[in-house]
Amino acid sequence: MNKTLLMAIGIVTTLVYTQQPFAHEQQSHNVPKASQSAFQMTETATALVNSFTLTQKKALLLSFVDDKERTKWSNAPIHSKARNGLPIGRLSIKQRHLLHELLIASTSSQGYQKVWGAVRGDDELKHEGENRELTSDKFFGKNQSLGAIDYWVSFYGNPVTDKQWGYMITGHHLAANFTVVDGKATFVPMFYGADPAVISHGAHAGHQFLPQERKRGVELLRSLTDKQRAIAIVAKEYPANKFGPTDFAGPGKKDTKRKYRGLKASDMSAPQRKLLWVLVEEYVNNADFDVAEQQLAKIKEDGKDSLFFMWMGPSDGSEKVFYRVHGPSILIDFVDQRTGFDWNTHPHIIVRDPSNDYGQDWLQRHISEDH
């Protein structure tokens, strides 16, 4: 065998070997159809919708193209802000089981626990209120509207017949939005929180609802040098009004123009960038594995070094902190919420894709949220 042929074989072998990881990454989403999140969501949503009575369908099935209704959510108690659809308390026990099957099909195990943890936390908050003197009609009314039975479900489009559809579960500390467009699924925007953050009494005392979201952010901040911290921390206190932090990318804030602020990933060390990526994964991995993989791949395609980490509030990680991770395809806000309406400090969290909230990029149309 001559040298030229040997060199040619070597080059081809090297190319095949070096391209394999990239090819594997590209093929990682090609799992059997029955295991894909969009397929499982459609299958379980079909079972749930087929269980509805005609009266329930009239309330629950809304227009997919009516973006004003599809993006209408709030983090206020139901007493303060009405929701679309029907409350869980109006669903049969069988339908509640089917709703959980749909939610499981839409999320990872951690995502399912976090989403339903928001609901369970609200049950605990209602219980706390029952053991307090609620001196005002407003506080009493809000406390009565808390808990699982007053979290509302709505569908946009019909998963039984449509290739484009979505659904929402929303209440005091949750607005989980899921969208399916032509076999693709997205989980953003997703708002969730927990009040209380920690159970303070009884057999479950010490249980934390969302421990890692705060912990991961504090770990990253503590890893920074003094010089880096001076860039990352943009304010000693977060700006707020009577409803909470004004910078939080909550309901009605989808189209708010935001500058990148804080410390850029390219100005971090390799271990710090690792902590930043772990933080991103903590939130994106709330989605089912294939949807999370696609979202993470999109963030990588933008360039992991283009991410920014911004912090407001005490640098020791105590109460009333706010941090943001921001890039072209990801926006994560974490805040310690505490206003005159609250007796606990508790987290509010939102995960968005600025380029594809509610599947807008796939739909190729502008979508504005309703406040």
Strand partners, 350: 191, 333
Predicted pLDDT at 14: 41
Residue 342: the pLDDT is 62
pLDDT 10s digits, 249-305:
999 999 999 999 999 999 999 999 999 999 999 999 999 999 999 999 999 999 999
What whole-number distance in Å separates Cα of residue 269 and Cα of residue 246? 31
| CA nearest to 67, candidates 151, 168, 159 | 168
- Identify which of 5-9, 53-57, 313-317 has the greatest average pLDDT: 53-57
Q: pLDDT band at 141, cuts 50/70/90? A: low
Residue pLDDT, tens place only, 81-125:
899 999 999 999 999 999 999 999 999 999 999 999 999 988 887
- Measured from the Cβ of residue 178, the count of other Cβ atoms closer than 10 Å reads 28
Q: What are phi and psi of 303, to 5 degrees?
A: 110, 110
**Percentage of residues in the chain having pLDDT higher than 70:** 85
Cα(192)–Cα(116) distance, integer angstroms: 9
Rounded to whole angstroms, how far apart are CA atoms 207 and 47?
34
Share of the chain above pLDDT 90, in %: 72
Strand, helix or coil at 108? coil
Per-residue model confidence (pLDDT) at position 21: 37
Q: Would you state the pLDDT for residue 345?
A: 80
Instruction: List the chain domain ranges.
Output: 33-363
